[in-house]
Amino acid sequence: MLHPEITSDDIRAMHSVDGRVIIVTGSAQGVGRGMAHHLGKAGATVVVADYQADKLQRTCDELTSFGAPNLGVEVDIRDQDRINDMVAKTVDAFGRVDGIINNAQTFRANAPMAEILGEDVDVFYRSGVLGTLWAMQAVYPHMKKAGWGRIVNFGSSMGRVGGAGFGAYNASKEAIRGISRTAAREWASDGIIVNVIAPAAAPPRAAGSEHYEEFMRTCPMHRNGDPELDIGPIAHFLCTDACRYVTGHTFMVDGGNFMWS
């Protein structure tokens, strides 16, 4: 079916995040900071949410320097009350929340399967799985009322392949994908779209490690992802109106390293 009533401006608006209010958790550094820059430069109002107050402020200052409206919110995503407060502050400031990118997760050294402790699982689950679940629950009533919402959660290729030595992390990342699919199914009729990004954009500190070097060898592009220019565009698309018929999916944003969806 063609749509003669749809104009070029309508199509451009579909692909735009201009004026959208989007929370990016974990945007004080790394992938989150890069996505915040990309979305801010594209016209979104970005809520920079993180538990590192000084670095969070740095991201806000950067967004302000290129004219992107923003709000910094100090939040620990292991705490449901703080997550609710983050969403309440967003709605107080801007009257709405169009999108949330649940990128933050607390890390700790991983252990082989035989040695994983309850505390290891707890850290990854509380920040990754519960943090993502609580954030989705917090934005849900606002998005449902608006009849429109975009949620982007974060998985990992490590979880998908069951990378050795990362059992607790892998379990949390696959659980995030599980609850993302359920939310996508339950909330599709509310106009809410939920997808997952599994990125490859290792921080500089990873260079030289066994996993990093193996990735550089096997990745068809033989390069590390750039948070702003490689991960940012997918996050952007997943927060637009153009992303209207894709939900519950995981996007491997990794230079073609894993060619399955």
Ligand X SMILES: NC(=O)c1ccc[n+]([C@@H]2O[C@H](COP(=O)([O-])OP(=O)(O)OC[C@H]3O[C@@H](n4cnc5c(N)ncnc54)[C@H](O)[C@@H]3O)[C@@H](O)[C@H]2O)c1
Active centre residues (catalytic): 169
Q: Map the footprint of ligand X across residues 169-198, applying CB under 6 A.
A: none
Of 17, 32, 234, 250, the one binding ligand X (CB under 6 A) is 32
The least distance separating ligand X from the CB of residue 78, rounded to whole angstroms, comes to 5
Q: Which is closer to ligand X, CB of 108 or CB of 181?
A: 108
* Half-sphere exposure (Cβ direction) of 128: Cα atoms closer than 13 Å: 26
Q: Which is closer to ligand X, CB of 111 or CB of 146?
A: 111
Taking residues 142 to 171 in sequence order and writing x for each that binds ligand X by CB under 6 A, - otherwise, the string is: ------------x-x---------------
- Nearest residue by C-beta to ligand X? 30
Rounded to 5 degrees, what angle do the CA atoms 50, 96, 64 make? 50
Q: Write out the two tokens for 75.
A: 């939040």
DSSP letter at 127 equals I
Q: Which residue has the tokens 């990004």?
A: 197
Q: Map the footprint of ligand X across residues 72-111, applying CB under 6 A.
A: 75-78, 103-107
Q: Which residue has the tokens 């153009």?
A: 242
The least distance separating ligand X from the CB of residue 103, rounded to whole angstroms, comes to 5
Q: Which is closer to ligand X, CB of 12 or CB of 171?
A: 171
Q: Which is closer to ligand X, CB of 67 or CB of 204?
A: 204
Q: Write out the two tokens for 247.
A: 């939900």
Q: Which is closer to ligand X, CB of 7 or CB of 209?
A: 209
The least distance separating ligand X from the CB of residue 257, rounded to whole angstroms, comes to 11
Q: Write out the two tokens for 35.
A: 């996505």
8 Å CB contact between 48 and 63: yes
CA distance 54 to 180: 31
Q: Map the footprint of ligand X across residues 47-76, applying CB under 6 A.
A: 50-52, 75-76
8 Å CB contact between 23 and 99: yes
Torsion over CA: 252, 254, 257, 259 (sign): positive
CA distance 250 to 261: 6
The least distance separating ligand X from the CB of residue 241, rounded to whole angstroms, comes to 25
Give residues in contact with ligand X (CB under 6 A): 26, 28-32, 50-52, 75-78, 103-107, 127, 154, 156, 199-203
